[in-house]
Homo-oligomer: A and B are copies of this chain.
Amino acid sequence: MDVTIYEVARRAGVSIATVSRALRGTGPVAPKTREKVLKAVEELNFTPSRLGVSLAEGRHAANGVVFPDLAGPYYAEVLLGYEEVASELGRSVVILSTKGRTRVGDLIKDLAGRVDGMLIFGHTVPEPLVAELVRLGVRLVFVSRGPLPGADTLRSENTASAHALAGHLRGHGYERFAFLGAPLTSHDDVDERWQGVRGVLGRAIEAVGTGHYTVECGHEAATKLLKGRDRPRAIICSDDEVALGALLAAEELGLDVPGDVAVTGWDDIMAARHARPALTTVRQPMRELGARAARALDELITGARDTPSHIVLTTELVVRSSCGHHPQEVPT
């Protein structure tokens, strides 16, 4: 991988400028010359050095993405959607996981130095650093984060689907609810979900925290909740993984779902459909989130748009069997 444009030029008997033009199609090149160049390229197995190209062009042709983790399908799905579109647009994707990292600031600044722009998942990065990045003029798109001046944001709708979900559960006749996986931060997705269901259910619902949004934490918190004397009739979980933990807890305690306690999730990850009982949840267009982020970033980078955009994608209530009995429905 170390043959340079000079060797190609020498072999083809032309200047490096001509080689460059022939290869990129910029500027006129005589058909015969082009042929000679292509032949030399072929023979030497030449691939232009990305470094040289980028340095001269003044762009990296790469996008970054900062995520906390890849456990659970949410980030993986968004990431795939992002990579697919970025690749279509001729950009590579450089990843950075913040899980268990110290000096995240340095890592992100380093990342910023090797990409043209980046996608950052909400709340993976401390607020002062966000501000600094914006100030430095880094092109940014945030996913799952409320609007913020100076950068694009992209998320899925939470409030309306929270209303729909809460309404559906009340339709089952339930009266006492719990929201498992209470918001750790205000103004993020989970907070909006909580505000949404609470708006419908009012004092009939109580918030219960979990350390993280994982099966383990959901399991632990649900066990405690279900053992308590005031067991709720329905548990609305902040995401599917917490809900899977709750299902597990119910089973261990010998409780029937949805007979004794209803459980719902959020996101519609693959496992939601395969859980038993199948999980009622809110589908979030994870892949599209990633794809849209890549396009938004591209607009920012190419300068096609310079005012921040704040997009909200729609979600869909997916009713399965974990929330209650639906006589006429076929399980999917």
Residues 64-82 of chain A: 1 if any B CB is under 8 Å from the residue's CB, otherwise 0? 0000011111001101100
Contacts of A70 in B (CB 8 A): 70, 76-77, 79-80
B80 and A113 contacting across the interface, CB-CB below 8 Å:
no
Interface hits, A136-172 → B, CB 8 Å = 136-138
Q: Looking at the assembled complex, report how far the CB atom of A76 sits from the nearest CB atom of chain B, in whole angstroms.
A: 4
Shortest distance between the CB of A269 and any CB in chain B (Å): 10
- Nearest CB of chain B from residue A9's CB, rounded to whole Å: 18
Query: In the complex, how many residues of chain A place their beta carbon closer than 8 angstroms to a beta carbon of chain B?
Result: 53
**Taking CB as reference atom, which chain B residue is nearest A137?**
B1
Q: Is A227 an interface residue (CB 8 A)?
A: no
The reply to whether B50 and A113 contact each other, CB–CB distance below 8 Å, is yes
**A212–B318 alpha-carbon span in the complex (Å):** 26
Cβ–Cβ contact A69 & B80, under 8 A: yes
Q: Contact check, B97 vs A94: say whether CB atoms are below 8 A apart.
A: no
A55 to B54: give the CA distance in the assembly, Å: 10
How far is it, in angstroms, between the C-alpha of A247 and the C-alpha of B273 when the chains are bound? 13
Contact of A95 with B71 at beta-carbon distance under 8 Å, contacts A1-B137, A47-B113, A50-B113 already known: no
Are the C-beta atoms of B80 and A107 separated by less than 8 Å?
Answer: no
Whole-angstrom CA separation of A271 from B73 in the bound complex:
11
- A10 interface residue, CB < 8 Å from B? no
In the complex, are the beta carbons of A48 and B244 less than 8 A apart? no
Of B55, B72, B138, B215, the contact of A55 (CB 8 Å cutoff) = B55
16 A-B pairs whose Cβ atoms sit less than 8 Å apart in the complex: A1-B136, A1-B138, A45-B136, A47-B109, A50-B60, A50-B113, A51-B54, A55-B55, A71-B73, A71-B80, A72-B270, A84-B97, A92-B110, A95-B95, A251-B276, A274-B275
Residues of A participating in the B interface, judged by any CB pair closer than 8 Å? 1, 45, 47-52, 54-55, 60, 62, 69-73, 76-77, 79-80, 83-84, 87, 92-97, 99-101, 107, 109-114, 136-138, 215, 244, 247-248, 251, 270-271, 274-276
The 6 closest A-B pairs by CB, nearest first: A50-B114, A70-B76, A50-B113, A51-B55, A76-B76, A276-B276
